Amino acid sequence: MNRIENMQCEYMENPELICTDHPRFSWAVVSDGRDIRVLRRKITVRDRETGAVVWHDEQEDAETVHIRYGGETLRENAAYEWQVRSFLSDGTEVESGRAYFETGIRDQKIWKGIWITKKDREDLKNCPVFRKTFSLREKPERAKLFISAQGLFTCSVNGIPKDEYVMAPGWTEYRDHLQYLSLDVTEELHAGTNVIGVRLGDGWFDGDISFNHQTHVYGDGISFAAVLITGYGNGTEEVRTDGTWKTRESGILCSSYYDGETWDLTRESANWAAEDFDDSSWEHAVPAPDPEGKLVGIRNEGSKRTDRLKPAAIRKTPDGSTLIDMGQNFSGWLKVTVNGQKGDRVQLKYGEILDKEGNLYTRNLRKAKQEDLFILRDGKNILEPHFTTHGFRFVKILAFPCRPETEMFEGIAVHTAMKPTMEFSCSDPLLNRLCQNILWGEKSNFNDVPTDCPQRDERLGWTGDAEIFARTASFLFGTDAFFSKWMEDVKAAQKKNGAVPFVVPDVLPKDWSFLTDAGLGADQSGAGWSDVVTIVPWTLYLQYGDREILQNSYAAMKKYIAYIKDGAGNGSSDPYLWDWGPQLGDWLALDRSDGSYRGATDEMFTSTAYYAYSVSIVRKTAEVLGFTEEADEYGSLFEGIVRSFHRKYMADGKIKIRTQTAQILPVYFGMLTAEETKTAADSLAELIRENGGHLSTGFMGTPYICHVLSRNGYQDLAYDLLLKQDYPSWLYQVKQGATTVWEHWDGKKPDGSFWSDNMNSFNHYAYGSIGEWMFRCMAGIDTEEKDPGFGRILLSPVTSIRLKSLQCVYHSVRGKIVSRWERNQNTVHYHFEIPANTSARITLEDGSVRETGSGVYDFTVTAV
């Protein structure tokens, strides 16, 4: 049966807010037949209010992704629906259901002069509340609340929470742009008196952020702006934020991103946002300055409550504490439902792991308290924090009014609500758990910004972590909207000289001792981190076939390469080497015996290798965009870097530096000849054996080590590394009870002691980048660069006798791809499912190749 599914507008299903006048549409055709192609398609877009067709496009075109709207100008604050009809090669027609999208506010002027705040916050950490009473002559046919904040907000209409989004409006490079949300409040409004209620928190804008708990990074004070537009058959009416809004301090005495929230429910009325509440004693709001940055509609799915977890157990620890074990490390909070008397307290302390005695270990939180304190009202209390999240598996009960029972607690996981796209399973339960750990690491850290960790006083958008994990992330979830949004932050944070900060949004203290001691200045970049500006857009292009992400990033890419060239021309011994300025290098590698964070590989070696890699990406980007002359220039630059690299770092066809990472990078980055590549791969295998069969790589070498091995005849060794269960290895963490990926290979040592209190996250996705090898190599699901976004699928699974079976189901932008294999001593049986309107090149264990169209295929070959 043929059908159309996965209909997306600007990467999202039925988005309530798009911030472009010319949105793009994508969908997938599903068919049971073989070799099914789309021959012709029709797209129809209608105005939902008038029913009028605003665009009807019929093309002899097989493309189903990123189709640009070409109709009449879309109205502001309007809802549209769209349908697709595809004409297929088997002679059938298939029509989609109706999908929709809504537009936002085009005119920036609407946000001018309407920002309000509370005058003289007596307690600068208090989260003030605001309310506006207004009257409607009748129930509106359509009502949208457009709202933003310099800080964070929650809101309600007539006492009904509009809390689909959390930590809203999200974190951006605020000085350049600030997001607003569009909330449909039609059902909550009625004729007569109505009330909008808003609560404000400091959030990233004005609260504790980055090291040393610095505050007021973006401004001095919090504010918000809102516009309610109600629609009737004969026009619209508006309610805006102004001095008629009422405000007062709330019962939330403080809410910190790192420390948690203190909420005294006795200090605020439970119905303060309802219509019949008397606000005559409240003061009037006062004007606040307009934001420095422009207002843009939210660019991704937004952070939401995504998973709900029940406690695995409640138990006593050796030190006498009561501990809730959620069974899973994640980011969010604990929701508590409890009966109490006025003044009773619920106090919770969050942590990730237990020490060797079995008590809650929190020293790795550094200065972050991760505590929530609630002072109860009489009766039933439902308790959740408003403006904070915690990274935790365990919760220590510091105060509680009665005997805690499991039904009183619910774990609320929070992250950007990306769509899951990968299902992985195999015959090894430890590998299945590892894949779940990688997935939960992404869930825990993709909260509007790809943070490094969700628990300690950091939680920053480290660019190096994000770029090495981007491909894995984009197999597990649909990250096209998430990363496209964040790349706008990266571009906004890029310095005038082309340098890209180590974290985005750029909030590192300029006097942070770690950077200053390393000689790194505010306007400097670091290889492997700043290359995010080239690597992530290219990754998105490969994964989703989105040429526009390259167009949007190309200028920033070139600016970054120019920064490196300019630096090399001002003091380098060779203008083709990045051998200047301090670098972070192969971060956290194990081949240094002095306990340093940095690995043993020469940091000028790694920076030059990354320089070559980014230049190669910019060259390919120029080719895709049709800039032939510029592509040639970058090609010549790449060749120059490779020649200089050979002169400095190679002798007799071998790499001079004997570390694992030194063998990996130039191979993976395409800097060596075929013979040199074989020699480097042989050296890598030798170094692994010399290290007892273990890896010793850090952030730079680890993502690529198994790729280099399996591509160069060492498939068995790649499997050995992945399947090892002793330290250091991925499965060592699993055997230690990990439910997410650790920051350090030895975060918790075999004797139960910890690597360090200072920098020891147990939910840090960087080493989860092995997921890319599991999906692209073990399952063999890949895309061809010349037909990206899985228009042409490359299927070449790398099997192993050490696994009986493996299956990956990947929901690509063009449809579901299935790769499954079962192996015994003599044979390998394969099962592949290839979506309609694509083709595939299948390479089997015996070296045979099959060229296919869409459909279901099974093969059996002799095992090698």
Which positions are catalytic? 458, 743
Distance from C-alpha of 489 to C-alpha of 491, rounded to nearest angstrom: 5
Strands 390-399 and 371-375: unpaired
Give Rg (Cα) of the chain.
28
CA angle 374–375–377, rounded 5-degree value:
120
Would you say 18 and 103 are in contact if contact means Cβ atoms under 8 Å apart? yes
Query: Phi then psi for 652, rounded to 5 degrees?
Result: 55, 40
CA neighbor of 801 nearest in space, from 719, 685, 688: 719
Kindly report the three-state secondary structure assignment for every residue of 695-752.
CCCCCCCHHHHHHHHHHCCCHHHHHHHHHCCCCCCHHHHHHCCCCCCCCCCCCECCCC
- Contacts of residues 306-311 at CB distance under 8 Å and 24 or more positions apart, as own/partner, are 306/413, 306/414, 306/415, 306/417, 306/443, 307/411, 307/412, 307/413, 307/443, 308/410, 308/411, 308/412, 308/413, 309/410, 309/411, 309/413, 310/406, 310/409, 310/410, 310/411, 311/406, 311/409, 311/411
Q: Where are the alpha helices (DSSP H) in 83-217?
A: 203-206
Query: Residue type for 585, please?
Result: G
Helix then strand count (H, E) for the chain reads 15, 46
Is residue 504 within 8 A of residue 449, CB to CB? The reply is yes
Distances in Å between the Cα of 519 and the Cα atoms of 36, 573, 857 are: 59, 19, 57
Q: What values do phi and psi take at 340, rounded to 5?
A: -155, 180
- Alpha carbon dihedral 559, 565, 571, 573, in 10-degree steps, equals 160
Query: How many beta carbons lie within 10 A of that of residue 122, not counting itself?
Result: 8
**Residues ≥6 apart with Cβ < 8 Å to 455:** 350, 351, 352, 364, 365, 368, 370, 390, 391, 392, 761, 762, 763
Question: Any bridge partners for residue 324, and if so which?
Answer: 314, 395
